Amino acid sequence: MPDTVETTARTALAEVLETDVTIALDDELDRLGLTSLNKVLFLMSVCERTRVGLHHFTEDDVAGMQTLGQVVTALSRYAEEA
């Protein structure tokens, strides 16, 4: 399932960024121009698409998701259970 989560996360991030940029898993989201609001929209979109409830994550968890790889890792834990 991690490949599915990664693909879904990449698609959702590209939609939020509205740019055609190659994104590495270790790229910092804020350096890609992701605002706090866009980060929330991105996470909501990925959670909805992967059927992972946002209730799994605290505010600190979300703040700690600084890279695409961290988002994929966090969601993958719960996507397997979904």
pLDDT in tens, 36-50: 899 989 999 999 999
What does the alpha-carbon distance between residue 82 and residue 76 come to, in Å, rounded to a whole number?
A: 10
Average the pLDDT over each of 18-27, 32-41, 69-78 and give the range with the smallest value.
18-27
What digits encode the pLDDT tens for the residues 13-24? 999 987 777 889
Q: Counting every residue, how long is the chain?
A: 82
| C-beta neighbour count of 81 within 10 angstroms | 9
Cα-trace Rg, the chain: 11
Kindly report the pTM of this predicted structure. Answer: 0.85
- Is 13 within 8 Å of 23 (Cβ atoms)? yes
The answer, yes or no, to whether residue 54 has pLDDT greater than 60, is: yes
